[in-house]
Amino acid sequence: MQPQPPDFTDKSTTATHPFRRALLRGLGIVLPPLLTVVVFIWAWTLIDQYVLRPVEGVASWALIRMEWDVRRSQPDEAVIDDYQLLSTREWIPRHVYERVTENPGTERPVTAGQYYRRYVRIQYLQPWVVIPTFLLFFISLLYLLGWLLAAGVGRLMWASFERLIDRLPLIRNVYSSVKQVTDFVFSEQTIEFNRVVAVEYPRKGIWSIGFVTGESLLDIRSAVNEPVVSLLMPTSPLPMTGFTITVLKSETIDLDMTVDQAVQFMVSCGVVVPPRQLQRSERPSRLSAELFSTAKLPGASSSGDDSSSSDVKDSATSSSPSASNHKPSKS
């Protein structure tokens, strides 16, 4: 009976966890749209707090001034029926009072100013009117600014404004940093990665993945007298950030993988490997079984020795008659 090779597989690592795998798969499905919605809500909250509400406040103030009709004394007998006396001894138009009384809001108004603010709110500044109007106005304003700055006069005006900002000690530092970010995000020129390469960086023996962005600077190429390339070295697990280096072209190795596959490799910290880059190594259990089959076990070696010794004896016995036949005869 042949002995069975031992099983060297680690059952703890190969055991499946259905609950954990299902939970992670669910998170992978839910998180992308959820984070997208959170980002849009955050952006809208900023716009609503710092742009929409101030604009709405200015519009409310202007409409109140246009509609303002408050009297401190009793109106004439001819128009007294058109006014309503408040507890603050102020007379306001009856249609304003009735409109607000129908929809007073969370806190019932008391003064004439509060009545008018509430009246303007429910009469002119309804959310279903304000939000579309604001978006239309905001988009139109952005379009006009972009069109104006593209023209010669607008470009000169913007250049003068930036020169003025550049003279302010503290503001220019913040402005220049923000401008670099916005220029990078909203610029029509996109960074095109030619190919994915591997380079020994930051020292020999450590290989890093980089994206070829160009042929770098002419002065560097002239100094080394050899073709060079500029590489974007992304950081893991967030490849959106990184740094730029210049290396010799001969020291790079082209990798058979796309940019998307390289990004997935970095985001997963090397866990997600492209199919063409997978190592075709045998599993440990199979390799151990083959090594076990080629090795001599103690029981097998003794039986093998016995069989070999018996074979030697049989060969010696079979060869003895022939040996006797070949003995020289005595004369």
Average pLDDT over residues 202-213: 92
**Residue 309 pLDDT greater than 60, yes or no:** no
The two structure tokens encoding residue 308: 């070999």
CA distance 263 to 254: 16
**Residue 6: its pLDDT value, please?**
53
**Residue 190 pLDDT greater than 70, yes or no:** no
Average pLDDT, the chain: 79
Angle at 326 between CA 322 and CA 331, to 5 degrees: 145
Number of neighbouring beta carbons within 10 Å of residue 40: 10
Average pLDDT over residues 267-281: 83
The residue that leads in pLDDT, 250 or 324, is 250
Got the DSSP string for 35-81?
Answer: HHHHHHHHHHHHHIIIIIHHHHHHHHHHHHHHH---BSSPPPTTTGG
Phi-psi sector, 205: left (phi>0), alpha (psi -120 to 50), beta: left
In this predicted model, what pLDDT tens digit does every residue of 99-134 receive, in sequence order?
A: 999 988 888 899 999 999 999 999 998 888 888 988
SS3 89: coil
Nearest partner of 115 among 145, 135, 95, judged by Cα: 95
**H helices present in the chain, as ranges:** 11-14, 18-47, 53-67, 94-102, 112-123, 127-150, 152-166, 169-186, 218-224, 259-267, 284-294, 298-325
Residue listed under structure tokens 């090779």: 5
Instruction: List, in order, residues 6 or more apart from 276 with CB less than 8 Å away.
Output: 256, 257
**Residue 317: its pLDDT value, please?**
46
The residue that leads in pLDDT, 177 or 306, is 177
